Each structure stands twice: as C-alpha cells, then as structure tokens.
Amino acid sequence: MRHTMLVLGLGLLLATSARAAADHERCLSDSGKAANKCLLQYQGGVERCRDRGDAACEAALRVDHGPLAGLRDAVSTAAVSQCVESDTTPLGYLSLPDIGSKAADACADWSEDQLTLAYGATPVAPAPPLALCQRTVAAALRNASRRAVVAYGPQCYVPAFTGAGCDRSARDARVAALRSQAVRAIATRCGASFDDLHLVAASDAPLEDRVGGLVDTALTRAKHFALRVYPPRDLGPTSQYGPYPIGITTLSLSDSTRMNVAGTGPRPVTVEVYYPSTAEAVAGHPKDVAMVLGTPVLETPAYRDVALAPGDPRPLVLFSHGNNGIRIQSFFFAAHLASHGYIVVSPDHHGNTFVDTLAGIVDPQVATNRPLDMRFLIDTFLGFNNTPGNFFAGSINPDQIGMSGHSFGGYTTLALAGGSFALGTFTEPRIKAIFPQAPAAPFDDSFFASITIPTMIVGGSLDETVSPADDQQRPFDHLPAGAAVAAYADLTDAGHYTFSDFCEVQRDLLSFLGGFNEACQPRHLPWRHAHDIVNYLSLNFFDATLRGDAAALSRLAPATVGQIEELTYQSK
C-alpha cells in the first residue's frame, strides 16, 4: 500500500508544490542522515569500550567537552549544512538552530536508549563465556536498528514527505526479516545464557519469544528515531499551519462573582488568545518568545499584539490546561487552529498552575472553579463580540463554540458537556463540540451517556498519569451514538504529556515539571509527529462540527483515519 494522500483517501493536495517539497527534501534527507551518523558513532564508541570491559575508556568518552559531547556539537552543525530558514516550517521545526539541536538530542537520547537495551541499565562486564553472548546481542540490535532506520526514514518517510509515497507492505516485510535475523543470531549464540544478561523480565515463554520481545522494542525505538529525524509531514494541509499568520495577546481578566484564593479580591483569569492575523500586520514584527517565570522558553511562530484578520465571524475554541499546567502549555494546538481562522482562548486556572504552586497559591475548589472559569470566558468574549470598538467586536460566531483541554482540562471539558455529577451541574449549552485530550474522567458511566454533542476523545497508549482504559475507553464506550462525531483516537506509544509542548522546553526546566518521562523519551511516539496527528484530528473535527464542513467530516471517516499508522481509531 502506498503511503500517499490518495491511499489515505484524504482527497487533498500536498501542502507544498512538488518543486518546493523537492527543495525541502534535501534538508530533510541530510539532517536525518547527520543524526543517524551521529547515532552510529556515539553508540559504536561506547560499545567498543563495553565489549572490552574497559570502564576507563567509556569514562573518557563521557567527560565534559569529550568525544561524545563533540559528536553532539558536530551533528548540530552538520544537520543544518544543507538547510535554509525556509525549510524549517515545512519540516516541522521552529528555526535552523532547532534542526541542529533536535538532531543532537535525538543522537544522544536514542544512543543511550539502545545501549540500555543491549547492556542493561547498570552494565557490568560479564565473564568470558557470557561476554560473547553480550557482544552478539549488542551487534544484532545495532545492525537491525540501523537498517530499520533506513527502511523507515530514507526509504519511506522522505518519499512520503514529497508525495512519492511508501510501499508499507514491502517496508514492513523488510523490517520483519531484520527481526527474524536478529532473533535467530541471538538465540543461536546465547541459548539459555541469554537470561543471564537480565535484559528482559524473567518468563516461562520460549527463548525465541523472550529474545523477540527485546528485538521488537529495539525496532520500535528505531521507528521512533526515524520519525523524529526524518519527519514525514504526510497527513496533508489540515495537519499543518493554515493560511493565516498567528496573532497572540494576553488579557488580564477577573471574575467579580468569585474571590481569589486569598479572599482579597476578584478571581483572576489571565488568558492567552490566539487568533488569525495578516501578512501585512506581522511584517517587520519579531516572533513571540514564550516566557515562564521571566525566562525565555522558546521562540514561537506567533506575533504578539498584531491586528486581527478581517472577515466573517469565526469559531471560538476554549482550551483548559492540565493540573498545575499553564495557559501556554499546548501552544501547538491553539496556534494550529488560529492559523486556520479560529479564535482560541486559553486561561490560567488560578490556584492550579505550577507558577501558583511555587508561590503557595492553591485553590481548594479547583474542580468547581475550572468549569466556571470557562463559562466566564464565554460570557466575556461574547460580550467583547457585541461591544463596538473592542478588538474582538464582530469576530466571533456565537453558534460556533467548541472546547478542548488536557488532563484535568479534559475533565473540565467533559464537565461542561455532560449533565449532573457529584460536584454539581455545569452543563454549558453554548459549547457545541468537545475535544478532550488525555482527559481525567472521574465520572460515573451514566454521566458520559448524557453527552450528546459531537465528541472526540484523544489519548496515548503509554499514558501513565491517567488510565487509557478508565479515562478514555470507558467514556467513549458510554457515549451515545447519534452525534455527527463520537470517536476515540488512541495514539500508539504517546504519553500523557505528548498532548502538550513540554518536550519543547529546555531539559532543566522540564525535569522540574516532570513531563520528560511521560512524553519525550525514545519509547514515546515523537511528540512533533504526534502533534501533526492531533492537529489533523482537531481541525477536521471542529471544521466538521462547528463549521459544518462536509469534506472535513469525510476526513474523519474510519477508513480514512484508520490509515494513519500510529493511531487506533474508534467511532460510533
């Protein structure tokens, strides 16, 4: 089956012309090749030390500013050698330096991961009879992974990016052959002594199955590496930025009907608003830099406080952040919708952001205040819409309001869509469609049966914060049929924080937030590819349910969405 837009049944042209795609292909191919070369050199250098049982050799590689650090520096430069700034957005990067830094991160992260698979988390030099088995395991995994990266990346994702397509059946057959070869080599050389390496959990399964589990893990990580450094961007225009430059502004609002946590004044509701702008309005403006606690986190593709694009009233989508999150945590989602003509409003939930937590501000009534924050924002923005001279006057269609949220924000989204539950009734009839992302769903089964508006639940199979079975599958199972969309999209190997921009944050801050282990490791589906999938689903979902776009609804047909490899899709 050829992995093209025709096979996917999307009925779309690629986001760029064939000539432009060919121009970007050089950057894609060479940056991926540089990252892959670094991976082989990094991993191979450490393996040579370990196979000799030479701890001093490995220590010398790992010293500050030593050989491994030199490889990272070299790949940062090599990855962008054939790239120009115009390559960045089509390939899903933020800037030229971003291409280099992400190649360096991938090289180091996947090298260390593959070394752990081959030698264990705490490697020790085995006795001579077992050393040959150990070397065989390392060589078999390295060779299978190296060839799998080629099968997925240069032979599949690169041509898929250009629209030339990928024969998935032939590719998968090649990878299956690599698996068989690696399993056979390890099982033949090691025999029962394989278990003495303690690389897999003890089991009564046949030796070939135990070895096969390890090889399968290595090949999955190889696929993730290929997706990371050879991003295919092959889901069509609805997965990529739309025609509008992205405007962004911050509003410091307050709800006078509720008190702040300290009880000293009205409840603050600070919001980030993302909206469509124009090329003329953003000309000469620098891109906005997201700030957290006064620290610049990343350059975004948005422009601060620029003009709103004129046109007919637009859909309004509300977004609610996760527990101890922040209003800018899912920039990828909000900016994507804004680039396609939506106005997206994302608040800080007072007393439930990580900034508030650091300051000792904790809302004991957060589960009830969250949905009330969103209701307040609907009232406020519809008021802006009806106020002559307001920045948003006449820009919002009050009959086209949707909502999304991540984690605790998914709870907030569901609470506003359903009926009564233990904390009360927050039903908001002005919300016409919901898109909860990795939601926490602490409701009775009967609550989900009360949600009659279009609903698409998205989640990840590796979520360790909420339960995919209880918080996503169970809600979907109890949704009534009959809405234009009632669906559940499960992203294979996505973690809880995949549905955020946590992996864009520098590692030292991310370690404080705790998201790295739930989104950014080699075991996870690379977050930017996951974001392409979420953006495809969310835009088509809201276009279909708020704008009444029949073509968007057809792009959500199970036969179409089911062709996305990293996705399991159910609908009613």
Q: In which region does residue 295 sit, left (phi positive, over 0), alpha (psi from -120 to 50) or beta (all else)?
A: beta
Q: Indicate the CATH number for domain 238-571.
A: 3.40.50.1820
Q: What is the pLDDT of residue 43?
A: 96
Q: pLDDT per residue over 96-128, tens digit each?
A: 999 999 999 999 999 999 999 999 988 888 888
- Burial string for 30-52 (b: 16+ CB within 10 Å, else e) reads bbbbbbbbbbebbbebbbebbbe
- Pair 75, 34: CB distance under 8 Å: yes
Cα gap 499→302, rounded to integer Å: 19
Instruction: Give the helix/strand (H/E) hosting 17.
Output: none
Q: What is the pLDDT of residue 509?
A: 63
The helix/strand/coil state of 292 is strand
Low-confidence ranges of the chain (pLDDT < 50): 1-19
State both tokens at 431: 């919300």
- Name all contacts of 13-22 with Cβ < 8 Å and 24+ positions apart: 13/236, 13/237, 14/163, 14/236, 14/237, 15/90, 15/233, 15/236, 15/237, 15/240, 16/90, 18/162, 18/163, 20/90, 21/90, 21/161, 21/162, 21/163, 22/162
Q: What is the pLDDT of residue 2?
A: 35
Ramachandran angles phi, psi of 319, nearest 5°: -130, 135
End-to-end CA distance of the chain: 27
Cα gap 345→339, rounded to integer Å: 14
- Name all contacts of 356-363 with Cβ < 8 Å and 24+ positions apart: 356/261, 357/324, 358/293, 361/261, 361/262, 362/261, 363/261
State both tokens at 393: 């006057």
pTM (2 decimals)?
0.94
Residue range(s) of every CATH 3.40.50.1820 domain in the chain:
238-571
Q: What is the pLDDT of residue 15?
A: 40
Neighbours of 295 (CB within 10 A): 10
The helix/strand/coil state of 254 is strand
